[in-house]
Structure 1
Amino acid sequence: MTVPTDTDGTAALPVASRGENFRLTVGYFLPNYLRGIFRSRPRLARLVARLDPGRRGLRLMRVMRRRHGRGPVVVRGTSGPTLLVLDAEDARQVLAGPVEVYAVDTWEKVSGFATVQPEALIASHGRQRTARRAFNDAVLDAGRPVHRLAGHFLRIAGEEARALLGPRAEAGLSAGQVRDRVERMGRRCFLGEAAADDEEFSRLLGELLAEANWLGARRWRAGRTRRTRRKMMQRQARYLCDADPRSLTGLFRTAPRGPETAPEGQVAHWFMALGSVHATVVQTLALLASHPQHHERAAAEVAAADRGHGARTAAGFEAMPYLQACVQDAARLWPPVPSLLRRTTAETRWRTAVAPGGTNVLVPAAFHMRDGERIDYAHRFAPEKWLDGTAERDWAVSPFGRGEARCSGTELVLQLATGFVAEFLRGGELAVAGVRLHPRRPLPYSFDTSRLRIGYRPFRTPPERP
């Protein structure tokens, strides 16, 4: 397996050995596939977590970098020869490069989204992508620190989180219980209040995402999948026809669109992103519960923001930079998308070597963000690195993507996750069980939610004396 290089043949990209390819497949590609690319497979994810594939895969990548040097290594990927990017500078080259060259519509994404939403932005290229990106950016307020509907959305996030904080929270909340409320928050914010209790919509979407994990391999289920998608789109159409003005669908009429935009085809991907919100919320709560100093600082910041601007307000959110940094670092430690896939549409140069167009490129984001040989905060909870700009300046630290392919909803995901977590810090104590997190020990490479319990107990206020 080789990739052509410079025309004069003076430089060649290193190629992984059979043994390296086997170990990479078993220790990195296969575990990620088994866990579920588009939606978690709970039972398999639980089994995979016991093997700690994150540690094994990242250790192998460090060994490969020492052996082959800084340049990308040609490995056997799921859809052919793939450049495995092991150097931070090369990661920046890919993420900062134009999407016309480093295209996002890889075989895996196109195959998976053909089941769920074939018109989604992430499975588009060229003119289609330009039109759909403009629409997504406009509705999601991409690049703006606060969404125009942030006040309403933060109130919803607070309400859904507060609904969890009853007596059962003292015994411990499961990740599934948090997910149900995050999904309800998403339906209210994205489709409007009329969709708040439409659990059937979420169930149908979940069924499609579970099928997307198979990347189109189960062709005998194609008819059933089409019927499921048709039912989901019919339910979605109800909310688009009479759009709630305080929802994302209510912003459709003012967003730029053209014949290739497919506005209704973008919604499913937003709901898929709720998986990132859910994972980041759970991880942030677990980290704060196990790191008393961080918890104290974040809780004090929330209290000060509430006093100065009111609870669950856009201004209050902006006054919580430390809590936002906690959320961002939780996503760095256990990124929602551990690998960033691209395909090249033209020749690309890697120092003295050249790879032809049509080559797959894989940036292992989880590896770069936990690369202890490069960053000194790799295995600890370090929100301060987002506050002082260290993490933001490092393009290899990309929990939500970077550059032209950066998720349009990055800022909105941060707002919803921060608003949800903030509710747990208002007048209560956090505890965590089922995961091993310690402020003075390296944090684990994998985060298993199967046994996780987030405990919450309201502060006991002493009774007033007569």
Structure 2
Amino acid sequence: MSRTSETFGSGTDAGSDALPEGALPTATRSENLRLTLGYFLPNYLRGVFRPRPRAARLVARIDPNRRGMELMRSLRGRHGRGPVVVRGTSGPTLLVLDAEDARQVLAGPVEVYAVDTWEKVSGFAAVQPEALVASHGRQRTARRAFNDAVLDAGCPVHRLAGHFLRVVGEEARALLGPRAESGLSAGDVRARLERAGRRCFLGEAAAEDTEFSRLLEELLTEANWMGARRWRRARTRRIRRKMTQRQARYLCDADPRSLTGLFRTAPRGPETAPEGQVAHWFMALGVVQAAVTQTLALLATHPAHYRRALEEVAAADRRHGAHTVAGFEALPYLRACVQDAARLWPPVPSLMRRTTAETRWRGAVAPGGMNVLVPAAFHARDAERVDYAHRFAPEKWLDGTASQDWAVSPFSRGEAQCSGMELGLLLATGFVAEFLRGGELAVAGVRLGPARPLPYTFDATRLRIGYRAQRTPGAS
């Protein structure tokens, strides 16, 4: 991967005016320093693959997303709307600040805008070296076909949706006892979703296998270091071996109501590595958990949205029954709430690519081997372009405004869009719906509401989700 070139250097304080005609603008040293210290470094310290709890609390106070977005607006104002070359962790990086350029990257072929960047390959080596997101070429084609088939990519309702909705309903309901009145943490939600994931992905036999989840969490924690702690590689290999051995128990005698039960009918070849794809699905549960907690917090602090979601769930249950496929299909507004929660605070705030060939950006040409960064969080909250940038706006997903805007991409777009996007939305929507059945929702520890612009950073470290069952007539 190219790290230096005459055109893509570290920049000078003279700014883009000194660049030859047709060259891409380059950030100055001071701009690079501010971007690194104010945005890239805090988010790295927070944890790329698994949040570090103490660091996450500190980073939330710094609010790097606000600082980063302010700097990106400043860069666009100074250098123009085209990509700006900044100094990334693995060399010169094209920072994409225009919505049309973002579409060029996301709609482009993965053979040119490849997803297997240094950061992903280094990080996933600890957890899942054969994962789809760390693959390219023939391997990626084979693994993508397998993932698409098992996860029913592109289908709003997975073929096992009926069972999965019952599972997430049961797991969410298990949280809603008297203890919920004093408040549930984001960790409580995560633990229940992990249990739901084990049941849906590996089968009912894995429901109580918390050791599998613990081993995966250790690997994700190590992945945050992106291979820098070389002295821990032997230990990491042992942990991964233990995890895959536990996983193999469920693959050998696959539950037909689980994703592993669909392996036999999915396309596969010598490059597929089916068992190497499973860990990433569990990692993606972190995305589901974030979407669930963010949606609950938004609904609890936005009364009009809350009432509409309550009415929709009640109507769907009356007509089709709770935890049914037809009932889920009758919840478009609640699903849009989940989507907009992910827009406001994207699970992956920066989408990374690497170019394998020359790429053209208006009148400029960038050589192959460049990193490309599409800041999804910036584009989703770009108030100069998006009139609903800082408010809770699920209606924008219903009328097509958000879904047709390629720069609004909480789950990526195009050939690199997450194969499990629809399944993740189904699990998150089903989980949230259970909180809206027969209870009152409240939150503490966050400052959200329709009367003020929503913050750039969602701090889940202090969040408490309160739930009280509605009292029946005659109850004391």
Tell me, yes or no, if structure 1 residue 112 matches structure 2 residue 123: yes
CA drift of 1:462 comes to 1.8
SS in 1 for 2:403: helix
Q: Which residue does 1:30 correspond to in 2?
A: 41
- 1:377 Cα offset (Å): 0.4
Q: Contact (CA 8 Å) 1:432, 1:453: kept in 2 or not?
A: yes
Letter in 2 for 1:310: G
| Structure 2 residue 218 is the aligned partner of structure 1 residue 202 | no
TM-score, with structure 2 as normaliser: 0.96
Aligned equivalent of 2:157: 146
1:99-130 superposed Cα distances (whole Å, 9 cap, x missing partner): 00000000000001111010000000000000
Please give the secondary structure, in 2, of the residue aligned with 1:115: coil
In structure 2, distance between residues paired with 1:246 and 1:38: 29
- Following the alignment from structure 2 to structure 1, what is the Cα–Cα distance between the partners of residues 305 and 118? 41
Q: Does 1:428 align with 2:439?
A: yes
Q: CA offset at residue 76 of structure 1? A: 0.2
| Corresponding position of 1:418 | 429
**1:460 Cα shift?**
1.8
Q: CA deviation at 1:3?
A: 6.3
| Cα separation, 1, equivalents of 2:121 and 2:450 | 41
Q: State the alpha-carbon separation in 1 of the partners of residues 64 and 93 from structure 2.
A: 20
Q: Decide whether the 8 Å contact of 1:309 with 1:316 is kept in 2.
A: yes
Match of 1:399 in 2: 410
Give unpaired runs (5+ residues) of structure 1. Answer: none
Matched, 1:281 2:292: yes
User: Which of 318, 323, 334 is the equivalent residue of 2:345?
Assistant: 334
Residue 257 (structure 2) aligns with: 246
Q: Gaps spanning 5+ residues in structure 2: where?
A: 9-19
Counterpart position of 1:133: 144
Contact 1:2-1:15 within 8 A present in 2 as well: no
The aligned amino acid for 2:462 is: R
Instruction: Deviation per CA, 1:203-227: give whole Å up to 9, x if none.
Output: 0000000000000000000010000
How far off is 1:13 after superposition?
Answer: 0.1
Letter of the aligned partner of 1:312 in structure 2? H
Aligned position for 2:334: 323
Question: Structure 2: how far apart are the matches of 1:408 and 1:3?
Answer: 39
Which residue matches 1:53? 64
Match of 2:15 in 1: none
Match of 2:396 in 1: 385
Runs of at least 4 residues of structure 1 off by over 4 A?
A: 1-5
AA aligned to 1:275 is G
Conservation of the 8 A alpha-carbon contact between 1:332 and 1:397: yes
Whichever residue aligns with residue 14 of structure 1, its letter is P
In the alignment, which residue of structure 2 is the partner of 1:171?
A: 182
Residue matched to 1:309: 320
Residue type of the alignment partner of 2:118: W
Q: Tell me the SS of whatever aligns to 1:368.
A: helix
Q: Residues 427 and 459 of structure 1 are in contact (CA less than 8 Å); yes or no, is this contact kept in structure 2?
A: yes
Q: Are the aligned partners of 1:95 and 1:401 in contact in 2 as well (CA < 8 Å)?
A: yes
Cα deviations across residues 225-265 of structure 1 (Å, max 9, x unaligned)?
00000000000000000000000000000000000000000
The reply to whether residue 228 of structure 1 matches residue 220 of structure 2 is no
Alpha-carbon distance, 1:461 to partner: 2.3
In structure 2, how many angstroms separate the alpha carbons of the residues matched to 1:53 and 1:462? 49
Partner of 1:357: 368
The one-letter amino acid of 1:234's match is Q
Structure 1 residue 27: Cα displacement: 1.0
1:10 shift after superposition:
4.0
Provide the TM-score with structure 1 as the length reference: 0.98
Aligned to 1:40: 51
Alignment partners' CA distance in 2, 1:433 and 1:68: 41
Query: What SS does the aligned partner of 1:349 have?
Result: strand
2:96 aligned to which of 85, 94, 97:
85
Aligned residues: 461
Which deviations, in whole Å up to 9, do the C-alpha atoms of 1:347-377 show, x marking residues without a partner? 1000000001110000000000011111010
CA shift for structure 1 position 398: 0.4
RMSD, aligned CA = 1.0
Distance 1:245 1:101 in 2: 38
CA distance in 2, matches of 1:446, 1:10: 38
SS in 1 for 2:402: helix
In the other structure, the counterpart of 2:464 is 453
CA drift at 1:459: 1.2
Distance 1:455 1:293 in 2: 19
Q: Assess if the C-alpha contact under 8 Å between 1:2 and 1:74 holds in 2.
A: no
Q: Tell me if 1:99 matches 2:110.
A: yes
Structure 1 distance, partners of 2:208, 2:171, is 12
For 1:297, give the aligned amino acid.
R
Indicate the SS of the match to 2:322: coil
Deviations 1:76-109 (A, max 9, x none): 0010000000000000000000000000000000
Matched, 1:217 2:228: yes
Deviations 1:44-88 (A, max 9, x none): 010010111111110000000000001000000010000000000
